[in-house]
């Protein structure tokens, strides 16, 4: 099995060829958005952070931004800062340069003299990058160059019964073919952590699964909160999920049966191939953001209740086994797995079908979230404490 990708100068392989207009701080968001909206092939996103953050939060913001820039789906980056923000553009550039040698240009709105001058100069820079990017030719690569994020959002009982077990089959084939598959959402393994831990490849990885769950519960207790006040969500409950343990047992099916190779900190890139787990919140958009920052080129997203979420950098393939949801939210949903309920398909057959669709998406077919252009670019970053 192979897929068509774009070779990057840092050795990685992308399945999209975007120019990323990267705001270092919220003050630069609209300037970036106006440029991206007028340049097909350019993408941007809303960065809520970049200033007023304590050190520990700023480091997380920087890790996500540098991870976005280094994601292999990005050909090159125009970074736009304001000038006076905490997240200084030269520091941000250095962090990106630690990860990748792809094209990178920087503009500061205060230095350029305002929005219109920044947009004029930035548009020229991005236009030139887009022309260079368009000259890149796709080549065939084996699946060891592919990293797929596994996500579920708006789950109902069909997620755990069919959609996630189907993705588990897809994951097993991807991993057996050399690819990396990334699970996440620590809150959604609570009650099922022992199952993942037993599949850990070494004692350190096993212990880290237990540690991240304990850390989550401890951090919530420290502020007088309880995980179960937010999980399962009202929609999960309406869909038949009664407890976080029930939701978690359904969630982890996405990971299939492969050994767990590594547990990653938030938005960090894996060092091993195969099935890996990233420590993120159970908030879908935040979790997708982190996995794309960790290098995932494609997101498989199962849903029961329906979900429109996209990502500026990675295609998000939306899958449901709830026929009613597929019909109701067809313009947000790529695949219908409800055949498993009416007897027209088996979990194994559907797992193979999803794999084939993943390869088609990798080769350039657009997902429904992508069809809306660069608008579906939901991005949320983890925060440690309030802004200062």
Partner 1 sequence: MNKEINAILIDGKDNVVTAIKELPAGRLARFEKGGEMVTVTVTDEIPKFHKIALEDILVSKPVYKYGHLIGEAIKPIKTGNHVHDHNIRSPQKN
CB of 327 vs partner 1, minimal distance in Å: 14
Between 109 and 244, name the residue whose CB sits nearer to partner 1.
244
For the CB of residue 168, give the shortest distance to partner 1 in the complex, in Å: 12
| Helix H or strand E segment including 238 | helix 234-238
Nearby residues of 14 by Cβ (< 8 Å), 6 or more positions away: 5, 6, 8, 71, 72, 73, 74, 75, 297
Give the range of 46-54, 232-240, 262-270, 360-368 binding partner 1 by CB under 8 A: 232-240
Min dist CB 228 to partner 1, Å, is 6
- Residue partners of 247: CB distance under 8 A and separation at least 6: 155, 160, 188, 231, 232, 236, 241
- Judge whether 263 and 180 are in contact, CB under 8 Å: no
Interface positions, 139-168, toward partner 1 (CB under 8 A): 156-158, 160-161
Buried-state track 170-198, b at ≥16 Cβ within 10 A, e below 16: bbbbbbeeebbbbbbbbbbbbbbbebbbe
The span from the CA of 193 to the CA of 206, in Å, is 9
- In angstroms, give the least distance from the CB of 308 to partner 1: 21
Candidate segments 190-198, 200-208, 360-368, 380-388, binder of partner 1 by CB under 8 A: 190-198
The smaller minimum CB distance to partner 1, of residues 76 and 168, is found at 168
- Name the residue nearer to partner 1 (CB basis): 143 or 329: 329
CB 345 → partner 1: shortest distance, Å? 9
Q: Rule CB under 8 A: is residue 195 a binding residue for partner 1?
A: yes
Q: What is the C-alpha to C-alpha distance for residues 36 and 38, in angstroms, rounded to an integer?
A: 5
Minimum Å distance from CB 151 to partner 1? 20
- Residue 191 as a binder of partner 1 (CB under 8 A): the answer is yes
Residue 340 touches partner 1, criterion: CB under 8 A: yes
Tokens of 120: 């004029």
Does 211 participate in binding partner 1 (rule CB under 8 A)?
no
Question: How many contiguous H segments (helices) and E segments (strands) does the chain have?
Answer: 16, 14
Interface with partner 1 includes 245 (CB under 8 A)? yes
Dihedrals phi, psi of 255, to nearest 5 degrees? -80, 0
**Site for partner 1 contains 237 (CB under 8 A):** yes
Instruction: Assess 36 for contact with partner 1 (CB under 8 A).
Output: no
17 versus 302: smaller Cβ distance to partner 1: 302
């Amino acid at each position: 099995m192979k897929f068509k990708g774009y070779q990057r100068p840092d050795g990685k392989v992308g399945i999209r060829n975007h120019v990323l207009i990267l705001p270092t701080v919220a003050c630069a968001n609209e300037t970036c958005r106006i440029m991206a909206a007028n340049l097909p092939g350019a993408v941007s996103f809303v960065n809520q952070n970049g200033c007023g953050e304590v050190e520990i939060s700023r480091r997380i913001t920087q890790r996500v931004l540098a991870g976005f820039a280094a994601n292999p789906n990005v050909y090159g980056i125009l970074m736009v800062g304001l000038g006076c923000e905490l997240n200084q553009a030269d520091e941000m550039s250095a962090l990106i340069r630690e990860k990748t040698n792809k094209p990178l240009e920087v503009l500061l709105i205060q230095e350029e003299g305002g929005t219109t001058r920044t947009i004029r100069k930035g548009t020229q820079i991005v236009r030139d990058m887009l022309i260079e990017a368009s000259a890149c030719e796709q080549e065939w690569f084996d699946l060891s160059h592919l990293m797929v994020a596994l996500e579920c959002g708006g789950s109902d009982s069909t997620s755990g019964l069919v959609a996630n077990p189907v993705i588990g089959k897809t994951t097993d084939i991807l991993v057996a073919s050399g690819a990396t598959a990334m699970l996440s959402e620590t809150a959604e393994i609570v009650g099922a952590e022992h199952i993942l831990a037993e599949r850990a490849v070494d004692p350190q990885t096993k212990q880290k699964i237990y540690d991240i769950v304990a850390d989550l519960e401890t951090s919530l207790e420290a502020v007088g909160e309880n995980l179960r006040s937010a999980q399962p969500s009202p929609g999960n409950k309406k869909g038949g999920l009664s407890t976080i343990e029930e939701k978690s047992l359904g969630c982890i099916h996405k990971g299939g049966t492969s050994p767990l190779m590594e547990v990653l900190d938030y938005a960090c890139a894996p060092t091993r191939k195969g099935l890996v787990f990233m420590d993120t919140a159970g908030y879908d958009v935040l979790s997708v953001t982190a996995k794309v920052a960790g290098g995932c080129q494609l997101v498989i997203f199962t849903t029961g209740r329906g979900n429109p979420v996209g990502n500026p950098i990675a295609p998000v393939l939306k899958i449901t086994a709830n026929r009613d949801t597929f019909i109701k939210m067809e313009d947000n949903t790529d695949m219908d797995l409800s055949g498993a309920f009416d007897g027209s398909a088996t979990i194994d057959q559907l797992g193979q079908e999803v794999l084939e669709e993943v390869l088609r998406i990798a080769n350039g077919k657009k997902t429904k979230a992508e069809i809306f252009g660069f608008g579906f670019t939901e991005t949320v970053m983890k925060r440690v404490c309030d802004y200062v």
